[in-house]
Amino acid sequence: MAKLYLRIAGLFSWRIVHILRRLGLTVAGGAAVAAASVTLTGCAVDVGWDPTPPYGWDDTFYDPSLEGCWRLHSINSRYVSGYSVNYLYFNGRGRGEYLYYTDGRPCTENTAYWCQHSTSGNSYYQINIQYESSYSPTTMNYWFTDGGDTLWMQWRNSYGLQTYVYVYDPRMPW
């Protein structure tokens, strides 16, 4: 019964966070958002995981425009569907979740993130995301379009320039 209550609270918290985000407000206490994250089942979880900002990131902040759940829409201009879809959830306080599928099974992994002003010239901001299951954090430029409902993330790796486009999704995927 308690889990059902938390799941229902989680459904409403996504809408509340989105409404507050559209009004330019942030959720400081986040009790409903915390309740929502409790219901997610993890595939890679370490309770003692507490990462720190990457070396050289001394002037970091948490961008309130990132708060909420973002669904992957495309990778390098190619539409993503089915089990290739993943989600990023940012809680506004430097923590979140990466939600994805493994063999058709939904999984959740903790993330930590920090933002700073970009020096690349491609965007005003960059974000460093650390995934719980990886020792290799990812740093990328990011920006918004469509009134803040589309999140663009871009970085360069050994395969070339990577561009991931996420759209704001007010519902919990699982």
Exposed, middle or buried by CB within 10 Å (0-12, 13-18, 19+), for 4? exposed
Is the CATH code 2.40.128 the one for domain 41-168?
A: yes
Residue 165 has pLDDT above 90, yes or no: yes
pLDDT in tens, 34-85: 333 333 445 655 567 778 877 777 778 999 999 999 999 999 999 999 999 9
Residue 59's Cβ-side half-sphere holds a number of Cα atoms within 13 Å equal to 6
Output the six-digit token pair for 121: 């010239």
pTM: 0.71
The residues spanned by each domain of the chain are 41-168
In Å, the largest CA–CA distance within the chain is 51
pLDDT at 80: 97
pLDDT in tens, 148-160: 999 999 999 999 9
Three-state DSSP class for residue 161: strand
